[in-house]
Amino acid sequence: MPIVTPLTRMLGIRVPIVQGGMQWVGVPRLAAAVSEAGGLGILTALTQPSPEALRVAIRETRKSTSKPFGVNITLLPTINPPDYEGYARAAFEEGVRIFETAGNNPGPLIKYFKANGCIVIHKCTTIRHAKSAEKMGVDVLSIDGFECAGHPGEDDIGGLVLLARAAKELKVPYIASGGIADARGFAAALALGAAGVNMGTRFMCTVESPIHQNVKDKIVASTERDTVHIFRTLHNTARVFKNKVSMEVVAIEKRGNAKFEDVRDLVSGARGRQVYETGDVDYGIWSAGITLGLIDDIPTCKELIQRFESGVEDTVGALSQIVQKENATVCPV
Ligand code: NAD
Protein backbone atom coordinates (compact mmCIF):
# COMPACT_ATOMS: atom_id res chain seq x y z
CA MET A 1 0.00 0.00 0.00
CA PRO A 2 1.47 3.41 -0.87
CA ILE A 3 2.19 5.75 2.03
CA VAL A 4 0.78 9.08 0.91
CA THR A 5 1.45 12.18 3.03
CA PRO A 6 1.77 15.93 2.43
CA LEU A 7 5.53 15.31 2.06
CA THR A 8 5.25 12.74 -0.73
CA ARG A 9 2.78 14.99 -2.56
CA MET A 10 4.84 18.17 -2.13
CA LEU A 11 8.18 16.64 -3.15
CA GLY A 12 6.95 14.15 -5.72
CA ILE A 13 8.56 11.20 -3.94
CA ARG A 14 7.14 7.70 -3.36
CA VAL A 15 8.08 7.10 0.28
CA PRO A 16 8.18 9.87 2.95
CA ILE A 17 11.77 9.20 3.97
CA VAL A 18 14.43 11.92 3.78
CA GLN A 19 18.14 11.18 4.02
CA GLY A 20 19.69 13.62 6.49
CA GLY A 21 22.34 16.03 5.24
CA MET A 22 25.49 14.56 6.78
CA GLN A 23 28.92 16.16 6.58
CA TRP A 24 31.27 13.98 4.43
CA VAL A 25 28.48 11.43 3.85
CA GLY A 26 25.84 13.26 1.78
CA VAL A 27 27.61 12.78 -1.56
CA PRO A 28 26.17 12.02 -5.03
CA ARG A 29 26.32 8.22 -4.75
CA LEU A 30 24.29 8.09 -1.54
CA ALA A 31 21.84 10.87 -2.42
CA ALA A 32 21.11 9.30 -5.82
CA ALA A 33 20.62 5.84 -4.27
CA VAL A 34 18.10 7.17 -1.74
CA SER A 35 16.18 9.09 -4.41
CA GLU A 36 16.21 6.11 -6.78
CA ALA A 37 14.83 3.96 -3.95
CA GLY A 38 11.85 6.32 -3.59
CA GLY A 39 12.98 8.62 -0.76
CA LEU A 40 14.58 12.05 -0.89
CA GLY A 41 18.37 12.00 -1.19
CA ILE A 42 20.24 15.04 0.12
CA LEU A 43 23.63 16.38 -0.95
CA THR A 44 25.49 18.15 1.84
CA ALA A 45 26.72 21.46 0.43
CA LEU A 46 29.60 21.98 2.88
CA THR A 47 31.06 18.56 2.11
CA GLN A 48 32.07 20.07 -1.22
CA PRO A 49 35.13 22.34 -1.00
CA SER A 50 33.51 25.18 -2.99
CA PRO A 51 30.25 26.24 -4.66
CA GLU A 52 31.80 25.20 -7.99
CA ALA A 53 32.46 21.71 -6.62
CA LEU A 54 28.84 21.57 -5.46
CA ARG A 55 27.76 22.26 -9.05
CA VAL A 56 29.81 19.26 -10.20
CA ALA A 57 28.29 17.07 -7.43
CA ILE A 58 24.77 18.08 -8.47
CA ARG A 59 25.47 17.18 -12.11
CA GLU A 60 26.99 13.86 -11.01
CA THR A 61 23.89 13.06 -8.94
CA ARG A 62 21.66 13.77 -11.94
CA LYS A 63 23.60 11.21 -13.98
CA SER A 64 22.44 8.51 -11.52
CA THR A 65 18.87 9.62 -10.88
CA SER A 66 16.15 11.59 -12.61
CA LYS A 67 14.17 11.67 -9.36
CA PRO A 68 14.03 14.67 -7.01
CA PHE A 69 16.87 15.27 -4.55
CA GLY A 70 17.77 18.17 -2.30
CA VAL A 71 20.75 20.12 -0.98
CA ASN A 72 21.50 20.68 2.72
CA ILE A 73 23.06 23.92 3.97
CA THR A 74 23.88 23.92 7.69
CA LEU A 75 24.82 27.16 9.45
CA LEU A 76 26.84 26.38 12.59
CA PRO A 77 30.12 27.63 14.04
CA THR A 78 32.94 26.51 11.73
CA ILE A 79 36.71 26.70 11.76
CA ASN A 80 36.73 28.26 8.25
CA PRO A 81 33.47 30.18 7.62
CA PRO A 82 31.98 28.95 4.31
CA ASP A 83 30.42 31.02 1.54
CA TYR A 84 26.84 29.96 2.38
CA GLU A 85 25.28 32.33 -0.18
CA GLY A 86 27.63 31.06 -2.88
CA TYR A 87 26.62 27.44 -2.22
CA ALA A 88 22.92 28.42 -2.22
CA ARG A 89 23.21 30.31 -5.51
CA ALA A 90 25.22 27.54 -7.18
CA ALA A 91 22.65 24.89 -6.22
CA PHE A 92 19.73 27.04 -7.33
CA GLU A 93 21.42 27.85 -10.65
CA GLU A 94 22.00 24.12 -11.18
CA GLY A 95 18.25 23.58 -10.96
CA VAL A 96 17.91 22.29 -7.38
CA ARG A 97 14.52 23.30 -5.96
CA ILE A 98 14.48 21.42 -2.65
CA PHE A 99 16.66 22.65 0.21
CA GLU A 100 17.24 21.47 3.75
CA THR A 101 18.42 24.29 6.02
CA ALA A 102 19.63 23.86 9.60
CA GLY A 103 21.49 25.76 12.27
CA ASN A 104 21.70 29.36 13.40
CA ASN A 105 20.17 32.44 11.73
CA PRO A 106 18.80 30.71 8.63
CA GLY A 107 16.55 33.73 7.82
CA PRO A 108 18.48 35.20 4.87
CA LEU A 109 18.89 31.78 3.20
CA ILE A 110 15.22 30.88 3.69
CA LYS A 111 14.24 34.28 2.25
CA TYR A 112 16.44 33.69 -0.81
CA PHE A 113 15.03 30.20 -1.46
CA LYS A 114 11.41 31.24 -0.95
CA ALA A 115 11.82 34.32 -3.19
CA ASN A 116 12.98 31.89 -5.89
CA GLY A 117 10.12 29.44 -5.56
CA CYS A 118 12.04 26.65 -3.81
CA ILE A 119 10.75 24.16 -1.23
CA VAL A 120 12.49 24.57 2.12
CA ILE A 121 12.69 21.88 4.78
CA HIS A 122 14.06 23.54 7.90
CA LYS A 123 15.52 21.38 10.65
CA CYS A 124 15.22 22.58 14.24
CA THR A 125 15.36 21.23 17.75
CA THR A 126 12.78 23.41 19.53
CA ILE A 127 9.15 24.33 18.92
CA ARG A 128 9.94 28.04 19.31
CA HIS A 129 12.50 27.87 16.50
CA ALA A 130 10.05 25.82 14.42
CA LYS A 131 7.37 28.47 14.83
CA SER A 132 9.72 31.25 13.89
CA ALA A 133 10.83 29.33 10.75
CA GLU A 134 7.16 28.76 9.95
CA LYS A 135 6.65 32.53 10.00
CA MET A 136 9.58 32.88 7.57
CA GLY A 137 7.61 30.72 5.14
CA VAL A 138 9.35 27.33 5.26
CA ASP A 139 7.34 24.52 3.70
CA VAL A 140 8.26 21.66 6.01
CA LEU A 141 9.80 21.49 9.46
CA SER A 142 12.20 18.71 10.35
CA ILE A 143 11.75 18.28 14.09
CA ASP A 144 15.00 17.00 15.49
CA GLY A 145 14.78 15.18 18.83
CA PHE A 146 17.57 14.86 21.39
CA GLU A 147 18.25 11.32 20.10
CA CYS A 148 19.81 12.75 16.93
CA ALA A 149 23.36 12.63 15.68
CA GLY A 150 25.23 15.90 15.37
CA HIS A 151 23.76 19.03 16.90
CA PRO A 152 20.66 18.46 19.10
CA GLY A 153 20.49 22.05 20.43
CA GLU A 154 20.64 22.87 24.11
CA ASP A 155 17.12 22.05 25.37
CA ASP A 156 17.47 18.23 25.49
CA ILE A 157 13.88 17.39 24.51
CA GLY A 158 13.32 13.89 23.11
CA GLY A 159 11.41 13.25 19.90
CA LEU A 160 8.30 11.82 21.53
CA VAL A 161 7.44 15.06 23.30
CA LEU A 162 8.77 17.36 20.56
CA LEU A 163 6.60 15.68 17.91
CA ALA A 164 3.48 15.71 20.08
CA ARG A 165 4.12 19.41 20.67
CA ALA A 166 4.64 19.92 16.93
CA ALA A 167 1.25 18.29 16.29
CA LYS A 168 -0.39 20.88 18.54
CA GLU A 169 1.58 23.95 17.52
CA LEU A 170 2.56 23.79 13.85
CA LYS A 171 0.47 24.60 10.81
CA VAL A 172 2.86 23.35 8.12
CA PRO A 173 3.77 19.65 7.68
CA TYR A 174 6.64 18.35 9.81
CA ILE A 175 8.86 15.32 9.63
CA ALA A 176 10.48 13.45 12.49
CA SER A 177 14.24 13.46 12.80
CA GLY A 178 16.46 11.77 15.39
CA GLY A 179 15.92 8.30 16.82
CA ILE A 180 14.40 6.65 13.77
CA ALA A 181 16.14 3.65 12.21
CA ASP A 182 13.44 1.03 11.84
CA ALA A 183 9.87 0.65 10.59
CA ARG A 184 8.41 0.80 14.10
CA GLY A 185 9.96 4.23 14.61
CA PHE A 186 8.71 5.27 11.17
CA ALA A 187 5.16 4.18 12.03
CA ALA A 188 5.40 5.89 15.44
CA ALA A 189 6.43 9.15 13.78
CA LEU A 190 3.47 8.96 11.40
CA ALA A 191 1.22 8.25 14.41
CA LEU A 192 2.58 11.42 16.02
CA GLY A 193 1.34 13.40 13.06
CA ALA A 194 4.61 13.55 11.12
CA ALA A 195 4.41 13.62 7.33
CA GLY A 196 7.56 11.54 7.11
CA VAL A 197 10.95 10.90 8.67
CA ASN A 198 14.52 12.09 8.30
CA MET A 199 17.30 9.56 8.93
CA GLY A 200 21.04 10.08 9.07
CA THR A 201 22.88 7.38 11.00
CA ARG A 202 20.75 4.63 9.42
CA PHE A 203 21.75 5.79 5.91
CA MET A 204 25.42 5.99 6.96
CA CYS A 205 25.27 2.24 7.34
CA THR A 206 24.14 1.29 3.83
CA VAL A 207 26.00 -0.22 0.89
CA GLU A 208 25.99 3.10 -1.01
CA SER A 209 27.21 5.21 1.94
CA PRO A 210 30.71 6.50 1.11
CA ILE A 211 32.30 5.74 4.50
CA HIS A 212 34.91 3.02 5.16
CA GLN A 213 33.66 -0.53 5.77
CA ASN A 214 35.27 -0.52 9.26
CA VAL A 215 33.01 2.38 10.30
CA LYS A 216 29.91 0.59 9.00
CA ASP A 217 30.96 -2.55 10.90
CA LYS A 218 31.53 -0.46 14.02
CA ILE A 219 28.01 1.00 13.73
CA VAL A 220 26.56 -2.52 13.48
CA ALA A 221 28.57 -3.66 16.53
CA SER A 222 27.64 -0.60 18.65
CA THR A 223 24.74 0.00 21.02
CA GLU A 224 22.65 3.01 22.01
CA ARG A 225 25.21 3.66 24.79
CA ASP A 226 28.05 4.38 22.37
CA THR A 227 27.55 8.10 21.76
CA VAL A 228 28.62 11.09 23.83
CA HIS A 229 27.96 14.83 23.82
CA ILE A 230 30.83 17.21 23.15
CA PHE A 231 30.76 21.04 23.09
CA ARG A 232 28.15 21.13 25.90
CA THR A 233 30.14 23.85 27.64
CA LEU A 234 30.52 25.82 24.38
CA HIS A 235 26.74 25.84 23.74
CA ASN A 236 27.23 24.03 20.45
CA THR A 237 26.41 20.53 21.71
CA ALA A 238 27.12 17.70 19.29
CA ARG A 239 26.31 14.00 19.70
CA VAL A 240 29.21 12.00 18.32
CA PHE A 241 30.56 8.46 18.49
CA LYS A 242 32.16 7.65 21.85
CA ASN A 243 35.84 7.06 21.07
CA LYS A 244 39.28 8.10 22.32
CA VAL A 245 39.11 11.58 20.79
CA SER A 246 35.56 12.47 21.88
CA MET A 247 36.30 11.27 25.45
CA GLU A 248 39.43 13.44 25.47
CA VAL A 249 37.32 16.44 24.43
CA VAL A 250 34.81 15.69 27.22
CA ALA A 251 37.67 15.44 29.74
CA ILE A 252 39.05 18.82 28.64
CA GLU A 253 35.59 20.38 28.94
CA LYS A 254 35.13 18.84 32.41
CA ARG A 255 38.28 20.56 33.68
CA GLY A 256 36.32 23.83 33.29
CA ASN A 257 36.67 27.08 31.33
CA ALA A 258 37.55 25.25 28.11
CA LYS A 259 37.72 27.40 25.00
CA PHE A 260 37.16 26.14 21.47
CA GLU A 261 40.90 26.61 20.80
CA ASP A 262 41.64 24.00 23.50
CA VAL A 263 39.85 21.29 21.50
CA ARG A 264 40.05 22.65 17.97
CA ASP A 265 42.73 20.28 16.68
CA LEU A 266 40.95 17.26 18.15
CA VAL A 267 37.51 18.07 16.75
CA SER A 268 38.27 19.46 13.30
CA GLY A 269 36.07 18.14 10.52
CA ALA A 270 39.17 17.53 8.41
CA ARG A 271 40.36 15.03 11.04
CA GLY A 272 36.91 13.44 11.34
CA ARG A 273 36.90 12.93 7.60
CA GLN A 274 39.97 10.71 7.95
CA VAL A 275 37.87 8.30 10.02
CA TYR A 276 35.56 7.76 7.07
CA GLU A 277 38.45 7.51 4.60
CA THR A 278 40.87 5.27 6.52
CA GLY A 279 38.45 3.32 8.71
CA ASP A 280 40.30 4.20 11.95
CA VAL A 281 37.24 4.82 14.14
CA ASP A 282 39.36 6.37 16.93
CA TYR A 283 41.17 8.94 14.79
CA GLY A 284 38.71 11.85 15.04
CA ILE A 285 35.21 13.01 15.82
CA TRP A 286 32.32 11.49 13.83
CA SER A 287 28.62 12.09 14.30
CA ALA A 288 26.32 9.22 15.32
CA GLY A 289 22.86 9.06 16.87
CA ILE A 290 21.60 6.69 19.54
CA THR A 291 19.95 4.75 16.73
CA LEU A 292 23.30 2.92 16.81
CA GLY A 293 21.39 0.54 19.07
CA LEU A 294 18.86 -0.22 16.31
CA ILE A 295 21.21 -0.82 13.39
CA ASP A 296 22.41 -4.37 12.85
CA ASP A 297 23.05 -4.71 9.14
CA ILE A 298 24.32 -2.94 6.02
CA PRO A 299 21.54 -3.06 3.40
CA THR A 300 21.32 -1.23 0.08
CA CYS A 301 19.17 1.92 0.21
CA LYS A 302 16.58 0.09 -1.88
CA GLU A 303 16.41 -2.85 0.54
CA LEU A 304 16.20 -0.46 3.48
CA ILE A 305 13.39 1.65 2.08
CA GLN A 306 11.41 -1.42 1.01
CA ARG A 307 11.82 -2.78 4.53
CA PHE A 308 10.41 0.45 5.95
CA GLU A 309 7.43 0.35 3.59
CA SER A 310 6.45 -3.22 4.41
CA GLY A 311 7.28 -2.78 8.10
CA VAL A 312 4.95 0.19 8.44
CA GLU A 313 2.15 -1.88 6.98
CA ASP A 314 2.84 -4.66 9.49
CA THR A 315 2.94 -2.20 12.40
CA VAL A 316 -0.27 -0.47 11.37
CA GLY A 317 -1.90 -3.92 10.93
CA ALA A 318 -0.80 -4.98 14.42
CA LEU A 319 -2.10 -1.71 15.91
CA SER A 320 -5.47 -2.01 14.20
CA GLN A 321 -5.83 -5.51 15.70
CA ILE A 322 -5.25 -4.10 19.17
CA VAL A 323 -7.92 -1.46 18.58
CA GLN A 324 -10.38 -4.15 17.35
CA LYS A 325 -9.74 -6.32 20.40
CA GLU A 326 -10.49 -3.40 22.70
CA ASN A 327 -13.70 -2.66 20.82
CA ALA A 328 -14.68 -6.29 21.21
CA THR A 329 -14.24 -6.00 24.98
CA VAL A 330 -16.38 -2.89 25.16
CA CYS A 331 -19.10 -4.19 22.79
CA PRO A 332 -19.03 -8.00 22.84
CA VAL A 333 -21.07 -9.53 20.03
P1 NAD B 1 34.67 22.29 11.41
O2 NAD B 1 35.92 21.53 11.15
O3 NAD B 1 34.61 23.70 11.00
O4 NAD B 1 34.34 22.21 12.99
C5 NAD B 1 34.32 20.96 13.68
C6 NAD B 1 33.25 21.02 14.76
O7 NAD B 1 33.56 22.09 15.66
C8 NAD B 1 31.84 21.30 14.24
O9 NAD B 1 30.91 20.54 14.96
C10 NAD B 1 31.64 22.78 14.51
O11 NAD B 1 30.26 23.13 14.70
C12 NAD B 1 32.46 22.97 15.77
N13 NAD B 1 32.97 24.32 15.87
C14 NAD B 1 33.71 24.98 14.94
N15 NAD B 1 34.04 26.21 15.41
C16 NAD B 1 33.49 26.32 16.64
C17 NAD B 1 33.46 27.34 17.63
N18 NAD B 1 34.09 28.51 17.44
N19 NAD B 1 32.77 27.12 18.78
C20 NAD B 1 32.14 25.95 18.99
N21 NAD B 1 32.14 24.94 18.10
C22 NAD B 1 32.81 25.11 16.94
O23 NAD B 1 33.41 21.52 10.83
P24 NAD B 1 33.22 20.61 9.54
O25 NAD B 1 33.29 19.19 9.92
O26 NAD B 1 34.11 21.12 8.44
O27 NAD B 1 31.72 20.91 9.15
C28 NAD B 1 31.35 22.17 8.63
C29 NAD B 1 30.09 22.61 9.30
O30 NAD B 1 29.02 21.74 8.99
C31 NAD B 1 30.19 22.63 10.82
O32 NAD B 1 29.53 23.78 11.29
C33 NAD B 1 29.46 21.40 11.23
O34 NAD B 1 28.91 21.50 12.53
C35 NAD B 1 28.39 21.35 10.18
N36 NAD B 1 27.81 20.03 10.07
C37 NAD B 1 26.87 19.86 9.16
C38 NAD B 1 26.27 18.65 9.06
C39 NAD B 1 25.17 18.48 8.11
O40 NAD B 1 24.37 17.60 8.29
N41 NAD B 1 25.12 19.28 7.09
C42 NAD B 1 26.65 17.57 9.82
C43 NAD B 1 27.65 17.76 10.69
C44 NAD B 1 28.24 19.00 10.82
227: left (phi > 0), else alpha (psi -120 to 50), else beta? beta
Give the number of the atom of ligand 1 that is nearest the alpha carbon of residue 73: 41
102: left (phi > 0), else alpha (psi -120 to 50), else beta? beta
Half-sphere exposure of 194 (CA within 13 A, CB side): 30
Q: 169-173 contacts: CB < 8 A, separation 24 or more?
A: 169/127, 169/130, 169/131, 170/127, 170/130, 170/131, 170/134, 170/141, 171/134, 172/134, 172/138, 172/139, 172/140, 172/141, 173/5, 173/6, 173/7, 173/10, 173/139, 173/140, 173/141
How much of the chain exceeds pLDDT 70, in percent? 97
pLDDT band at 326 (very low <50, low <70, confident <90, very high): low
Give the number of the atom of ligand 1 that is nearest the alpha carbon of residue 20: 40
pLDDT band at 250 (very low <50, low <70, confident <90, very high): very high
Return the pLDDT at 256.
93
Determine if ligand 1 sits within 6 Å of the CB of residue 267: yes
Return the pLDDT at 329.
56
Half-sphere exposure of 318 (CA within 13 A, CB side): 10
Cβ-based neighbours of 168, under 8 Å, separated by 6 or more? none
Determine if ligand 1 sits within 6 Å of the CB of residue 72: yes
pTM score of the predicted model? 0.95
Find the 101 Cα to ligand 1 centroid distance in Å: 14
Return the pLDDT at 109.
97
In 3D space, the residue among 142, 17, 113, 117 whose CA is nearest the CA of residue 67 turns out to be: 17
Return the pLDDT at 323.
86
Mean pLDDT of 53-76: 98
Mean pLDDT of 215-232: 98
Find the 78 Cα to ligand 1 centroid distance in Å: 5
Which protein residue's CA is at the shortest distance from atom 36 of ligand 1?
Answer: 23
Is the CB of residue 138 less than 8 Å from the CB of residue 157?
Answer: no
pLDDT band at 324 (very low <50, low <70, confident <90, very high): confident
Determine if ligand 1 sits within 6 Å of the CB of residue 150: yes
Return the pLDDT at 327.
60
- ipTM score: 0.93
Determine if ligand 1 sits within 6 Å of the CB of residue 27: no
Give the number of the atom of ligand 1 that is nearest the alpha carbon of residue 235: 20
Report the distance separating Cα 270 and Cα 61, nearest Å: 24
Mean pLDDT over the full length of the chain: 96
How much of the chain exceeds pLDDT 90, in percent? 95
Q: Does 333 score more than 70 pLDDT?
A: no
Determine if ligand 1 sits within 6 Å of the CB of residue 23: yes
Cβ-based neighbours of 137, under 8 Å, separated by 6 or more? 110, 114, 120
